[in-house]
Structure formats: structure tokens, C-alpha cells
Structure 1
Amino acid sequence: MSYVSPKDFTTKMIDAGEAKVFMATRDTLIRAFMAGAILALAAAFAVTVTVQTGQPLLGALLFPVGFCLLYLLGFDLLTGVFTLVPLALFDKRPGVTVRGMLRNWGLVFTGNFLGAFTVALMMAVIFTYGFAMPPNEVGQAIGTIGEGRTVGYAEYGAAGMLTLFLRGVLCNWMVSTGVVAAMMSTSVSGKVIGMWMPVMVFFYMGFEHSIVNMFLFPSGLLLGGDFSVGDYLIWNEIPTVLGNLVGGVTFVGLTLYATHARTAAPRNAAVLPVLAVPADTTTADTTPVTADTTTVGAR
């Protein structure tokens, strides 16, 4: 069986978080860069499919290909380390500290951004033929996404900020569920199936993913979107990062850790008194039982 039980894959989650804390700076940055770049390409692919077919569900259905590839290649997303690394701290693994956790998060954030921005720049060149012409319809769509999900939130003030934050929470609830689902199986096909479903949900529902946004919003700015860097940071990236952190740690990491790695004491079974049932003398069979001497003797 390729299925891994919750108790076992929760241990794998803690081990993975510990390994990421002690990973070399060079390796952490390279893995994060590649993760950001691959996810950005997947986002560009999904937007292209959506624009050209007019079917958002088809774009969402195909987007997880990038997530699956980067996971199988061992690359790291900020959303994933938000969920896994704190578990090693909660489990009091030797040498794992808050400083080490923050170092990992900072390096992964930097690598993800550099990878996503590199792809954003490349795609902006492609969409405009080296900025020699206005962006094509896919480029225009990306610019519109950037406007709607920055100044679009700002129009509603605090309500818009709350909506943005909760979309970030729900996003990493789904994405981190995909990360964990990949640990439920020892086969490549099982890992891919487990990852595909929750990632598709987040993309189709329009939840806010900090790394995808590292591609979409710089692309939008490069392609003439009507919003500023400040709009992007205040009305998207920063609240999205915080929402992703809360969603991954609270609804995925801690829940699994609490109930599978550090389970509560089992509840004692209730001991019920045994009630004596009086004999029914009126219906009792008082016929004496006699031995079958013929059979007994034969033995």
C-alpha cells in the first residue's frame, strides 16, 4: 500500500521542517528561486488558458501542474515552510530556534520573489515583443488582475483588508493541505493526485497566494497596470503573507500536530454497574440434565 497513515506523515512533516531550518543558505535560496519561477510559469500558463478559452475552470484545472513539479523536484515555497518549519519548533527539535525559523522564512521569501520576478520580466517582454508594442490580451488580463486585487480592495477600506486577509488564510489552508497530501503517499501518482485537488480549489476560488502574486503584480506594473508598488505591498502582498502564515500554521500544521503527533490522553471507558436480573421461577426449566451414558461409555 502506498498510503501513509496520519501519524507517520505528521512525523515526516516535523522532520521536513527541521531539515529546512538547517539547510545551507545557498541551497535554500536556489530551491526557493526555482519554486517561485516554476509557480510563476504555471500562473502565466493558467491565465493564458483562461483568456484564450474563456473558461476559468480550465485554467484552474491545469494550474496545479507547476505546484506538483516544484514539489517533486524538492523546491520550497514560502507557503509550505510557513506550515512545516514551526512544527519542528513546537516539537522542540534540538537546535531549532525562532531565529532559525525566521531565517528560513526570510531566505525562502527572497528566493521566491526573485524567481517569480524573473519570470514576470521575461513574460512582460514576450507579451509586448520587448516593450515594442502594447501588451497582448493575456498581458492586458494580467494588468487587470493587478488593479482589481489591489485598488479593488482599497475601495472598501477595512472591509477590503479583512477580505484580502481571509483570502490569504483560505489560500494556504488549501495549498498546505496539498503539501501534506503529497506526504500521504509513497508513489508519484498518489502524490500528484493528493496535491492537485486542493491547489485547484485555491486557484479557481481566487484566494490570495503570496508567491503567485509575486508574479502577477510585478507583471501588471510592467505591463501598464493602473496601480502602484505601494498599492501592491499594502493592499496585497503584506496582508496576503500574513494570511498565508495564519492559514498554514493554524488550520493545517497545528491541527495535525496536536491530534497526531501530540495526542491527548485517551479517554477512559465508562464502567457501568452490572445489574442483577432475578430469575423467572415461573418459566424456568427445572428438568434435570442427565448424561448420555451410551456416548460417554463409548469414549
Structure 2
Amino acid sequence: MSYVKPAELATRILDAGESKVFMSTRDTLIRAYMAGAILALAAAFAVTITVKTGNALVGAVLFPVGFCMLYLLGFDLLTGVFTLVPLAWLDRRPGVTIGAMLRNWGLVFLGNFAGAMTTAVLMAIYFTYGFSVEPDAVGQAIGHIGEGRTLGYAEHGAAGMLTLFVRGVLCNWMVSTGVVGAMMSDSLPGKVIAMWMPIMVFFYLGFEHSIVNMFLFPSGLLLGGDFTVVDYLVWNEIPTLVGNLVGGLAFVGLVIYATHARTGPTREPKATAGQVPA
């Protein structure tokens, strides 16, 4: 059968987290770079659809195509390793240390950022004919996204920061569900369906994804958005990273680990009156 039961899924998750730690620096960077670039292109695709159709739901329904492609190709997002690698450490897998985990996170962050920035520059050239004209409607929309999701939070002070953090938590609850969803099935259609659903939810609800934002906000700056790099880091990227870590680990990784990987033995049913235990 193509469906993988939760107990086996938990084992696959732990094995995947362990494998990330021991991946070479070269492979980690290459896979993270491609993941960031593909996800950024999917974000540009979804924004383009939303602007041209005027329907955000259509953009959200089609955005997961990028997420599915990158995971089927074996590439890595920081939001995914935030969830997978700590579980391998918690399970005391040999060689999985705090230092090794932080090394993996750092390399994936750098690769994702470089890939997203590459796509940001290429799309900015695309939107402006090599910076020779004003950005088109889609380019202008991306610039405004950057303003609204930095200065918009800043206007609300502490309440805005809390909202930003919570959106980061909710985002990686859904995204990490998609990451483990790819392991729920051994068939290609099963993997795609399991990934598609939660990613569509996160994108339509406007949650904050640190890797998507590595594309949207640098793009916004390149396309004339009225905010600064400091606004981006303080009022989006850093709180989003923390929220993504908490959301993926608390609501996906630790839950599956606690109830499927570390669950107690199944109790034998008690015999009722008149029955002889088997």
C-alpha cells in the first residue's frame, strides 16, 4: 500500500533528520540554494496569478507547485530542517549534536537566502526590462507587500510583533505538515496531495514564511518598495524565523515524536466475564 502508517512515518522523520546532519557542506548548500530559488519562483508565480486574476484563492491553490517540485527533487528548506533535525537529536541518534544541528541550520539558511536572492534579482530584471522602466503591476504589488508586512506590523508596536510571531508559528505548522506529508506515501500522487493541502492553507491565509520572505522583501526593495533592510530584518525576517522554528517543532515534530515514536506499549484488552484470555 502507498499509505505509510504514523508509527513508520515517525521513523522516517527521525531518519530524515539524521541524514541532514551528516550531509556534506557542498550538498547541503546546493540543495538549499535550489530550494530557495524554486520556492521564490513559485511565490512570484502566485503573486502574478493573484494580480492578473484579482483572485487570491487561485494564486494560493497553485502556489504549492513550487513546494512539491523542490521536495520531490530532494532539496531542503530551513522550515523543514527546523522540524526534522531536532528530533534526531532528541532521539539521541549517534553523532547528532547541538553543534551539528546548528551547522545544518546555518548552511541551509545561507543556501535558501542565496537562492531566493538570485530569483529576486532575476525577477526584478524581468519586471522592469533590466531596470530600464518602472515595474509592471505585479512588480508594484510585490513592493507593496514588503511595505505592508514590515511597516504595517511596526505601526502596531508590540501587538504587531506578536502578530508577526504568531503568523510565523502558524505558517510552519502548515509547512512542516507538508514536509512530513511527503513521507506519508510511497506514491507520487500521494506525496503531492499530502504536500499540496497544508501549503495552500498557509499561503491563502497570509502566514509568514521566512524563505518566501527572503524573496518578497529583497524584491520589494529592488522594485521601489518604501521600507529599509532594517525594517525587513527587525519587523519580519527575524521574528518570522523564530516563529517558524516554534511552529514546526511544537505543532508537528514534537507531537509526532511524542505519540508515535516514543509512545508506550499497547495494552492488551481485558477479558470480560465468561471469556478466556487468548
TM-score bin, normalised by smaller chain: over 0.9
Task: Please show how residues 250-265 of structure 1 align to structure 2 within 5 Å.
Answer: 250-265=250-265
Supply the distance in 1 between the matched residues of 2:45 and 2:35 (Cα, whole angstroms).
15
Q: CA deviation at 1:39?
A: 0.1
Residue matched to 1:97: 97
Q: What's 2:8 paired with?
A: 8
CA distance in 2, matches of 1:226, 1:191: 40
CA distance in structure 2 between the partners assigned to 1:270 and 1:219 by the alignment: 63
1:147 aligns with 2:147: yes
Note if 1:22 corresponds to 2:18: no
Q: CA deviation at 1:237?
A: 0.1
Match of 2:126 in 1: 126
Q: 1:87 and 1:46 mapped to 2: Cα distance? A: 32
> Counterparts of 1:135-214 in structure 2 under 5 Å?
135-214=135-214
How many residues are matched?
Answer: 274
> Which shifted more, 256-265 or 104-113?
256-265
1:272 deviates by 8.5
How far residue 264 of structure 1 moved from its aligned partner, in angstroms, is 3.1
Offset of 1:9 from its aligned partner? Answer: 1.0
Residue 224 of structure 2 aligns to a residue whose secondary structure is coil
- 1:92-144 CA deviation, whole Å, 9 max, x = no partner? 00011000000000000000000000000000011111111111000000000
1:232 alignment counterpart: 232
Larger Rg: 1
**Partner amino acid for 2:70?**
L
Gaps of 5+ in 1: 275-299
Q: Give the CA deviation at 1:267.
A: 5.9
1:58 Cα deviation from its structure 2 partner: 0.2
3-state secondary structure, aligned to 2:208: coil
Match of 2:47 in 1: 47
> Deviations 1:49-92 (Å, cap 9, x if unpaired)?
00000010000000000000000000000000000001100100
1:286-297 pair list within 5 angstroms: none
Q: Distance in 1 between matches of 2:162 and 2:38?
A: 29
Q: After superposition, where does 1:76-87 map in structure 2 within 5 Å? A: 76-87=76-87
Distance 2:81 2:155 in 1: 32
DSSP 3-state at the match of 1:140? helix
User: CA separation in 2, counterparts of 1:235 and 1:271?
Assistant: 61
Q: Structure 1 residue 266: deviation in Å?
A: 4.8
Paired amino acid for 1:221: L
Kindly state the Cα deviation for residue 265 of structure 1 after the two structures are TM-superposed: 4.9
Q: What amino acid sits opposite 2:201 in the alignment?
A: V
Q: How far did residue 45 of structure 1 move?
A: 0.3
**2:108 is aligned with 1:108:** yes
After TM superposition, the score normalised by the length of structure 1 is: 0.89
Calculate percent identity across the aligned residue pairs: 76
**2-structure distance, mates of 1:132, 1:153:** 32
3-state secondary structure, aligned to 1:203: helix
3-state DSSP of counterpart to 1:23: coil
SS of 1:206's equivalent? Answer: coil
Q: TM-score, normalised by structure 2?
A: 0.96
Local SS of the residue matching 1:225: coil
Matching residue's letter, 1:231: D
1:268 to partner: Cα distance: 7.6
Q: Distance in 2 between matches of 1:215 and 1:153?
A: 19
CA distance in 2: counterparts of 1:118 and 1:12, whole angstroms: 32
Matched residue SS, 2:214: helix
Once residues 75 and 265 of structure 1 are traced to their aligned partners in structure 2, the CA distance between those partners, rounded to angstroms, is 36
Task: Determine the structure 2 residue equivalent to 1:60.
Answer: 60
- Structure 2: segments with no counterpart, 5+ residues: none
Partner amino acid, structure 1, of 2:133:
M
Give the whole-Å Cα distance in 1 for the aligned partners of 2:179 and 2:102: 20
Matches within 5 A, 1:267-286: none
Following the alignment from structure 2 to structure 1, what is the Cα–Cα distance between the partners of residues 98 and 60? 36
Matching residue's letter, 2:145: I
